Amino acid sequence: MSSIRLALVFLTLGAIPFGAIASQSAWAGDPWVVYDGCDGSGGGKHVVLVSGDEEYRSEEGLPQLGKILTKHHGFKCTVVFAIDPEDGTIDPDNSENIPGLAALRSADLMIIATRFRDLPDEQMRYVAEYVDAGKPVIGMRAAVVAFRLSSPTYDRFSCRSREWKGGFGQQVLGQTWISHHGRHGRESTRGLIVPDAADHPIVRGVEDIWGP
């Protein structure tokens, strides 16, 4: 990995009010969403947002983030999802199918928020090509364990890889998963809005939060 020069940012999302965004555009029949770019600092650039986790609702958050990047900054954004191959619906519990990853071939940035995906080689190849090209990656939430692959072809990306220590998470984002803080499933967290920051745009519409 030392020969690959990546512009890396690792983001952990807490409670960010994306707002209610109803409008979207997609090619008929395709199980992904495309927001066409417009004038702005991101005009002419393509961002691919890869969702697919069964805990953090990336299939809800990433389309909203993509819309924001398009509307306010001009980026073209493509959002891909974990899809049930039988009925074509979004299914975060399906770890083996994220169609549309070929969009990475024209991407200027990949934002990934997957967890333990076991993608087939014909889909994983696009992720590998993108990373090996040294293009920038932003990892969100559980992306430190983005892949848990059963095929040996791209094993280096797997969180249990023996080829790359720590797999994609450690070698690309800087660290893999280590441990839960406290007793997982038995302890919880309460988040309070600091009174002096109550009017800050990032907490607009956000109330005190409790989460397991």
Question: Do residues 64 and 33 lie in contact, with contact meaning Cβ atoms separated by under 8 Å?
Answer: no
Output the pLDDT for position 184: 76
Residue 16's pLDDT band (boundaries 50, 70, 90)?
Answer: very low
% of the chain with per-residue pLDDT over 70: 86
Output the pLDDT for position 22: 35
Q: What is the mean pLDDT of residues 85-106?
A: 97
Residue 165 has pLDDT above 80, yes or no: yes
Between 16 and 130, where is the model more confident?
130
Following DSSP, what letter does each residue of 127-171 receive, concatenated? HHHHHHTT--EEEEGGGGG-B--SSSTTGGGSTT-TTTTTHHIII
Q: What is the average pLDDT score of the chain?
A: 87
Residue 183 has pLDDT above 90, yes or no: no
Between 9 and 110, where is the model more confident?
110
Query: Which residue, among 54, 63, 109, has the nearest Cα to 82 in the 3D structure?
Result: 54
Q: What is the mean pLDDT of residues 191-203?
A: 92
Residue 198 has pLDDT above 60, yes or no: yes
Q: What is the pLDDT of residues 2-15, one digit of tens each?
A: 433 333 333 433 43
Alpha carbons 31 and 212: distance in angstroms, whole number: 31
Output the pLDDT for position 85: 94
Residue 19's pLDDT band (boundaries 50, 70, 90)?
Answer: very low
- Which residues does 68 contact at the CB level (< 8 Å), separation at least 6? 18, 21
Residue 188's pLDDT band (boundaries 50, 70, 90)?
Answer: confident
Q: What is the mean pLDDT of residues 182-205?
A: 88
Residue 112's pLDDT band (boundaries 50, 70, 90)?
Answer: very high
Q: What is the mean pLDDT of residues 185-208?
A: 89
